[in-house]
Structure 1
């Protein structure tokens, strides 16, 4: 067998300087008029990073996509020339990426090294500039840009399946689970949104950050969303993962919502779904970590539109795995696939009727030390490459033996609310 040589990757030159904490929000720094595929974001409660431009890009596909992405990033970092005056997780050359859910997807995983990154963590703020021309880059700290405009009157149409057809698919899944074929499956649906003018990704990011400040508001290669689920964070040897499974919609009445939260915490159906998800994460992380901590019971996470059962799992990384390596071992978790994984994946392929692409795949960032944060691309939409007036929205629900198909449609509607409201100003 002849081995093809690995294409040469241009050497990066990166400079990170400490800057005064921006007086404006990080998202306000994103330049107007930039191609949606060249804007990057990972922001929660005003902290994180935003980036723009493309110093380097790369795409991977197939069953070895995680290993190939990690290997490419290692090669980039090995030849990079770095001047880092801050030395925090997220400084120096930075990779933003959105990985596909399935190995068989027609879509490609998107890996982007921006030309400019601005970050904020606590009292620290920094600016990283990156080039491939061999010179040490320098740029003045950017200021706020022209505010984004609303996309206008947005119309919605069915995606791969109508709500009625998706309800039938859920019913079929419940039948399979009840007869013992599998324990749980996560089924997703899509919705097509269309605006009269090109959609400014900054509008979506601002709207999501304003309404869902305890989620990670992300953008990578035209995929935009607000995920409440941290698949894995690696920070100086400590790995943590937030598991969400089991959902109930909020009413807007605080007293009623407290009662609903209590009922969620006692729901056998939701507790069963949550237990599967926690077990799958703990088992996967345990292969790389020591001193594992898995709480005995979940807590209720309150978001603007829904409440979730949540559990934070933690461990000390003992085998040198990077954040992306850990994400690969966790994906797909029971929270986005089901249990057992192989059977759930097969049922997803049979019943969903669509290619998930990068929806429900790991999305996030990693620095040259292997530290990083990878969420799951949920509550999100993808701006069409060929038509910037169109965005496809996604939402999914965990189906177990006690699931009610009509209630699952209502839950999926609730999970579509963040992106629908971001588009319409609701």
Structure 2
């Protein structure tokens, strides 16, 4: 630890000199290897903000605690503005720094106050403490935004105090809250479905994705983020697990099967995931369900719309785009999806956020054509999607990163929990089948919270 303290001091001194010379704050960062960490234990025991991301195979796990740098942007140019602000800080540092970032589904924000206020339309956070596991290597990165207005010693004392608190964690027992349902979202979903089918029949859109919002009120017990994420990590194999928790009592989390994009050097990996069938209990039934999905005209049509749109979005940036001709099956605990992996090699120096802007929302979350679908969703849906169905992930100062589509997710806002699920509607869609699909897609979060045992209570919306 003495060597670590020396290195941290050197980095802060270097940033302090730059901040004084350039007359603006500069990031300082230092990374070292640690024996191991338990991300959920840390979340449970710390009162800070938390940011979490793990890959489906759990080979990569990242936990950020507290905020060293927060960047925000809004409006139609939010991706470009956030990229510009991030690039200013990127050029200041010599080390590799990681950030978590998320976006709202749309820039259209309803005028009344809502549960998504703490998230904004575009946010990027460099955590003060980043625990990162890649394979068997565990590291801890300490970052801080250094201003010439404070002394080097003040930053060192503050970091030492905070780090000492992290090294002396004592686990309190998380109490399981009780829940009562205040909105099931069924009537709103039915109304959205009828309007979606009307717009398809009038040929305004080829496909449109409608969402369902289900809300519960909880008891006064703090929400068990750590227990919930641990359950999702252990039970939702094959899915990314994520959390964006800007405040102790406010957070957005989920277990999504869908990667939006991964960038490593000039190489891009993405996927089309659309078309769903419930996973049966037995292997024989499961094999039959897979074949049914692979040959179902409605699901194949929905899937090919997504594949085509993703290829079109990547074309301006890519020298090559590769994808199999026919979809595969993506297996999750509750469902099977049609899945087409797509790879591209960039022939431009486009940033990761620029590519994300081109891809979002895919027809799997918005519809086709994209702009018309998003505009119609503003009229059809009676709630603010917030970050549901939006890009969330990590990026670093080398321009690399990975973002997912934040579905199979839920929002915690003080004593309320809102769950979200969506369905792609095409001409052949039937209401009861789509409504049943939302129940299947809500089930992972409900199981993690024990909500699958809760009966409706309170007022139905």
Equivalent residue number for residue 241 of structure 2? 217
Match of 1:99 among 92, 96, 103: 103
Alignment map for 1:68-217 (pairs within 5 Å): 68-80=81-93, 82=95, 92-105=96-109, 107=117, 108=120, 109-133=122-146, 146=171, 149-158=174-183, 162-196=185-219, 197-217=221-241
Q: Counterparts of 1:255-266 in structure 2 under 5 Å?
A: 255-266=284-295
SS of the residue corresponding to residue 391 of structure 1 reads strand
2-structure distance, mates of 1:66, 1:372: 15
Contact preservation (8 Å) 2:44, 2:172: no
- Tell me which residue corresponds to 1:39: 50
Give the 3-state SS of the residue equivalent to 2:64 in structure 1: strand
Greater CA deviation, 8-17 or 303-312?
Answer: 8-17
**In structure 1, the residue corresponding to 2:26 is in which secondary structure?**
coil
- 1:61-94: CA deviation from partner (whole Å, max 9, x where unpaired): 1101111111111112122353xxxxxxxxx321
Higher helix share: 2
How far does the alpha carbon of each residue in 1:117-149 deviate from its partner, in whole angstroms, 9 at most, with x for none?
A: 111122332211111245687868958762762
User: Could you tell me how far 1:308 is from its partner in structure 2?
Assistant: 0.6
Q: Which residue of 2 aligns with 1:359?
A: 388
Counterpart for residue 60 of structure 1 = 73
Q: CA deviation at 1:207?
A: 1.5
Q: Matched residues in 1 for 2:288 and 2:168: separation?
A: 45
Distance 2:173 2:54 in 1: 17
Greater CA radius of gyration, 1 or 2? 2
Measured after TM superposition, the shift of residue 233 of structure 1 is 0.3
Secondary structure of 1:398's partner? strand
CA distance in 2, matches of 1:422, 1:148: 17
Verify: 1:11 aligned to 2:35, yes or no.
no
In the comparison of the two structures, how many residue pairs are matched? 401
Cα-to-partner distance string for 1:368-387 (whole Å, 9 max, x where unaligned): 01100011111111111xx2
Determine the C-alpha separation between the residues in 2 that align with 1:48 and 1:322: 23
* Corresponding residue for residue 441 of structure 2: 415
Q: Give the drift of 1:179.
A: 3.6
Q: Which moved more, 1:124-133 or 1:92-101?
A: 124-133
- TM-score normalised by length of structure 2: 0.82
Point out the more displaced range, 46-55 or 273-282. Answer: 46-55
Deviation (angstroms), 1:310 = 0.7
Shift in Å, 1:395: 0.9
Query: Would you say 1:347 and 2:365 are equivalent positions?
Result: no
Deviation at 1:200, TM superposition (A): 2.5
Quick one: distance in 2 between partners of 1:55 and 1:71?
Answer: 18
What's the TM-score, normalizing by structure 1? 0.88
Per the TM alignment, residue 43 of structure 1 is displaced from its structure 2 partner at its CA by: 0.9
Check whether the contact 2:238–2:331 (CA below 8 A) recurs between aligned residues: no
How has the CA–CA distance of structure 1 residues 9 and 188 changed in structure 2, closer, same or farther, with 3 Å as cutoff?
Answer: farther
Structure 2 distance, partners of 1:374, 1:328, is 12
Structure 1: gaps of 5 or more residues: 1-7, 83-91
Alpha-carbon distance in structure 1 between the residues aligned to 2:168 and 2:285: 43
- Over the aligned positions, Cα root-mean-square deviation in angstroms equals 2.2
Give the distance between the partners of 1:319 and 1:155, measured in 2 at CA. 52
2:450 matched residue in structure 1: 424
Alpha-carbon separation, structure 2, partners of 1:358 and 1:157: 21
Consecutive unaligned residues of structure 2, counting only runs of 5 or more, are: 1-22, 111-116, 147-151, 453-461
